[in-house]
Structure 1
Amino acid sequence: MTRVSLHARVALAAALLCALVLLFFWPGVAMYDSVAQYQQVVSGSYYDWHPPAMARLWSLFHGIGWTGQAPMFVLQIGLYWLGLGLIAAALAREGKRIAAIAVLALGLWPPFLGWQAAVLKDAQMAAALLAATGIIGWRRLTGQKPRPIDLVAAVLLLVYATLVRANAVFAAAPLAAGLFVPWTWRRWPVRLGLIAAGTLAVLAVSPSINHHLLRADASGVEATQPIFDMAGIAHRAGPDAAPLLPRAVWAQAEALHCSSSVLWDPYSSGERCGFVQDALDGTSPHAIFAGWTGAIRAHPGAYAAHRIAHWNATMRWFVPWHFPLSIPEAGSEPNDLGLGSPAKAAEPFDKFAGWLANGPLGAPILALAAALAVLALARPASSAAHALAVPLALSAAALETSFLLVSISSDWRYHLWSMLAAWLAAILLLTRPLPRRAARIALTLVLLVGASEFAARLLLPAVGDNYEDLVGAPHGA
């Protein structure tokens, strides 16, 4: 009887896990954003509030009669386990049995699985980046050169990931730089400069791609970041600090306690403080941008305090144990589009996943600390695993750092890719011995971050997990 190789057994295990996840969460969870995107698919009318690449891809399945969220659910779960399975199988083939098992275990961590089951752009992005990493990583880790078909597949996945979230380029650019050209620390400033230039170029052309190539109408989404930041500045520096809107508007917002470090949503039209966004109706994007940057220049201290407070919230560093927007939804948003929900068994699973996500091990700040430790310790010239770990850690660190400037909400799901990438990089790092002194220092710093957030969770009063409490009742209700 022929003995099945270890890497084949690992690949089979990944395939079985993929099938089990599909069965357990079938047909996937359609959250509010999912329903909004599917409405575009059904109506054939697209707009850019959510990047239209996902809705356009969804429409291809809808066009051949595969309706509902199931096709996108199958896509993101399949790509998720393809990436993890290829990396785990490659490690197993090279004799790294424990690392291979750790990669599969990482994919099973309940917060990752719970959020990956939601048909959202965050899960699509994470799955596409994982699959691209797995396709190239299989070749690199097993000492092979990627074939042209591997490169084409990875490029398509990276392009899709970049288009499917507005901020995905901060993660995709550093990852691509290390996948297609194996990472070395030689001339690293040049490589980082190219990554920065590529990121700016993508940010510049993305609106044209969305509006012209993907034919999505403008929705005014570009105003959300300025509104969030100007509101934070006005809250800290006074109602005259953001003169794009009349003083009375900011004074009313202050009287209604509109300012929040957690999320932008209270300012959305129809919500409690929607009058702020409504007051900008008819204002040109150029004027909004000028008012935003002018307020930042005039009050840099207030802007910095606002951004740091938000970054702390979204990174879940000094926050209480129960913090909003962490628990994955077990059921779909009520809808009349035929988008169903998983079986009731998903409910206790997702509650447990939310408990873990709220805890110190689920904090993005801990994953960022791990990514920085990988960057400090990895020696890519000595190991293919380390050469793959560096772009993963750099991708995670770049995305998490970008939230200092570009972020309007503290949803846990926004960190799905960066946390996966950081811990995957850590597994790859540990496949070979590390310098003891440097490793002890790095581990101590990571543990200090973990201890500080754990203390905050024990000492700070709970905020609650309810989204409606954060947004509040509509103004005038």
Structure 2
Amino acid sequence: MSGTVDRWTTALRRAWKDGTAWPWCLAVIAAACGYAVATVFHPGYLSPDSNTQLGQALGDEPVNDWHPPVMALAWRILIRITGDFSSMAATQAAMLWGTLWVLARLVWKRTGSRGLSLAVLAVGFAPHIMNFTGVVWKDVHLAYALLAVFAIALTVRDLPRERFRARWALLALGLLFLAYAALVRKNAIPATIPVFALLVLAAWPAPGRRRWLAATGVFVAVVAGGSAAVNVATAPLATRVYAVIPVDDLVHVLTPDQVRAAAEQAGADADLRDRMVAAAVTCQKRHITSDGYLQCFPQRRPFDVTYLDRRADVVVRMWTQQMPKHWKGYAEYRARVFTKLLFQSNQTFWNGSHVNAGARLHPEVPKQPLNDTLRFALQNYVTGFARDLPMLFQGWFWLAVSLVLVLRRRWAGPYTRELRLLGASSLLYILAYLPTAPESNYRYVYWPALSGTVALALVATAFVARRRAAAGGTAGEPDASPTVPSAGRAPEAVPAGPREDTGAVV
């Protein structure tokens, strides 16, 4: 027995010294951190949106497409597997920390530095990232799905050519995550395009036109097929929620008299006409500058999600008839809402106990009350940083980070092209809110904040590794790894699959 223990001890010491045990240590650390975060948020912080979707997932109310049916379906599957609605928040924490572990492992392989790999893992504890980890929101699902695709693409990029099955399995997984991102947020399509390109370039470093067309066709087919499958499984009520945007524009750009005339010209029924006029009057009287349909539009109780579905064509016709005549007012209004989104952060912390007026938390939720001690500790942590470093919670900062990522032609380290595409995804996602933002809410820039933070962490680790190498020591010393050469030389990249890593720019 003593000899067996000695052999195990020797093997463990050797694995620690040569670095082969460190990725597993990172996995243990990531699992512990994810469990701790999930414990803080248990059983999950619910917003009015997620409170509604919980009822849909449990079958207590019909699914509708006001909120993504794919998210209700995913939650339903998790509940059937685990028997507990808290499994969704736990899955979110597992997704984030699992993805960060993949990225930290890649940094370890590239630099051989335990400290730098831990720095990437620590992104999960950043206040502007951790604040929503356990909030069941479609914005969080979008962010974590896209980040997972990014990590998968970097992994595929570094796989040797002979790992054929692993490469295609990872690419298929990345495609599924990307399709989920496209389905879980209606305005996510612009953000998915650069991430899709990143996935394709990980498979083929220089794809020709045919490969681009074939890959695009497969992606479109997967998204369309996924949407059809979700519709079959959930049979969602149609709401045509997109009509909320023209309602918002009309009641804020036009005067109440102009709204009345526009409704009559477009052939609106008396009920829609009167509600539109009332919404314009209410917004004007109460100085409500956005989100007119939910804040000003007269609603019956319970809330009728199908009201706009029956009148969306008329609302759109009103918009197309009036906005060209009032283009200046429209541009001014949209600029006002967009700048508020960029410069006035809102809801940097969500405490998980609020629902819409006239609604109530699902009966299952009070059975597992939130831990108030942990909730207030998290709130103090997040709001303290929001006070001292407000730019972390504001859209303008992450818009600036996205622009820098896109415009800089070369970054330290091997991921120049990938970082530019990640920045492009964030940039397109933010700009997509210019004509559509309903209000100022930090969750609308959560994906740019997450992707920007990860990108900055990767840039910083590459810069530190290069400085260490230039200073004459190995990047990983004293945390040496078998992938790190002797002192005085820059660390070599691991095999990068089917191409040489040149850091070339798209």
Q: Same-fold call, TM > 0.5? A: yes
- Which residue is equivalent to 1:458? none
Pick closer, same or farther for the CA change 1:237–1:398 going to 2, 3 Å.
farther
Which residues in structure 2 correspond to 1:49-448 (within 5 Å)? 49-64=66-81, 66-68=83-85, 70-95=86-111, 97=113, 99-141=116-158, 147-182=167-202, 211=231, 214-234=234-254, 239=259, 242-243=262-263, 245=273, 248-249=277-278, 252-253=281-282, 255-257=284-286, 259-261=288-290, 265-270=294-299, 284-315=311-342, 317=343, 319=344, 324-331=346-353, 335-339=361-365, 340-344=368-372, 345-357=374-386, 359-379=390-410, 384-432=414-462
* TM-score normalised by structure 2 residue count: 0.72
Query: 2-side partners of 1:312 and 1:417: how far apart?
Result: 18
Q: Does structure 2 retain, via aligned residues, the 8 Å contact 1:76–1:128? A: no
Pick closer, same or farther for the CA change 1:386–1:343 going to 2, 3 Å.
same
Q: What amino acid maps onto 2:178 in structure 1?
A: L
Pick closer, same or farther for the CA change 1:238–1:287 going to 2, 3 Å.
closer
Q: What amino acid maps onto 2:337 in structure 1?
A: H
Deviation at 1:282, TM superposition (A): 7.9
Moved more, 395-404 or 129-138: 129-138
Q: Does structure 1 retain, via aligned residues, the 8 Å contact 2:278–2:298? A: no
Deviation at 1:253, TM superposition (A): 3.3
Q: Does structure 1 retain, via aligned residues, the 8 Å contact 2:282–2:296? A: no
**Matched position secondary structure for 2:52:** helix
Deviations 1:381-430 (A, max 9, x none): x9532232122111111101111022213221122112111221233334
Query: 1-side partners of 2:74 and 2:26: how far apart?
Result: 31
Query: 1-side partners of 2:256 and 2:385: how far apart?
Result: 33
Q: What amino acid maps onto 1:343 in structure 2?
A: N
Q: Does structure 2 retain, via aligned residues, the 8 Å contact 1:311–1:403? A: yes
Deviation at 1:150, TM superposition (A): 0.5
Q: Does structure 1 retain, via aligned residues, the 8 Å contact 2:240–2:308? A: no
Deviation at 1:99, TM superposition (A): 4.4
Deviation at 1:64, TM superposition (A): 3.9
- Which residue is equivalent to 1:35? 51
Deviations 1:213-266 (A, max 9, x none): 642111342221111111221159965785454695466335533541477530
Query: 2-side partners of 1:95 and 1:202: how far apart?
Result: 36
Query: 2-side partners of 1:415 and 1:74: how far apart?
Result: 22
Q: What amino acid maps onto 1:388 in structure 2?
A: E
RMSD of Structure 2 on Structure 1 (CA): 4.0
Q: Does structure 2 retain, via aligned residues, the 8 Å contact 1:48–1:210? A: no
Deviation at 1:87, TM superposition (A): 0.6
Pick closer, same or farther for the CA change 1:357–1:217 going to 2, 3 Å.
farther
Pick closer, same or farther for the CA change 1:432–1:142 going to 2, 3 Å.
farther
Query: 1-side partners of 2:205 and 2:404: how far apart?
Result: 15
Query: 2-side partners of 1:95 and 1:373: how far apart?
Result: 24
Query: 1-side partners of 2:227 and 2:443: how far apart?
Result: 24
Pick closer, same or farther for the CA change 1:259–1:292 going to 2, 3 Å.
farther
Moved more, 393-402 or 203-212: 203-212
Query: 1-side partners of 2:400 and 2:204: how far apart?
Result: 21
Deviations 1:117-169 (A, max 9, x none): 11121222222222222222233257777611101111111111211111122
Query: 1-side partners of 2:299 and 2:72: how far apart?
Result: 25
**Matched position secondary structure for 1:43:** coil
- Which residue is equivalent to 2:472? none
Pick closer, same or farther for the CA change 1:309–1:196 going to 2, 3 Å.
farther
Pick closer, same or farther for the CA change 1:169–1:371 going to 2, 3 Å.
same
Q: Does structure 1 retain, via aligned residues, the 8 Å contact 2:338–2:433? A: yes
The percent identity for this pair of structures is 22
Q: Does structure 1 retain, via aligned residues, the 8 Å contact 2:150–2:199? A: yes
Deviation at 1:93, TM superposition (A): 1.2
Moved more, 232-241 or 213-222: 232-241
Which of 15, 28, 33 aligns to 2:31? It is 15
Unaligned runs of 5+ in 1: 435-477
Q: What amino acid maps onto 2:391 in structure 1?
A: P
Pick closer, same or farther for the CA change 1:217–1:26 going to 2, 3 Å.
same
Query: 1-side partners of 2:335 and 2:121: how far apart?
Result: 35
Q: What amino acid maps onto 1:312 in structure 2?
A: T
Deviations 1:27-75 (A, max 9, x none): 221222111001112226211110100101111223346132x111121
Query: 1-side partners of 2:230 and 2:80: how far apart?
Result: 20
Pick closer, same or farther for the CA change 1:85–1:126 going to 2, 3 Å.
same
**Matched position secondary structure for 2:254:** helix
Query: 2-side partners of 1:312 and 1:236: how far apart?
Result: 25
Unaligned runs of 5+ in 2: 1-12, 267-272, 465-506
Query: 2-side partners of 1:173 and 1:214: how far apart?
Result: 27
* TM-score normalised by structure 1 residue count: 0.76
**Matched position secondary structure for 1:136:** helix
Query: 1-side partners of 2:244 and 2:215: how far apart?
Result: 26
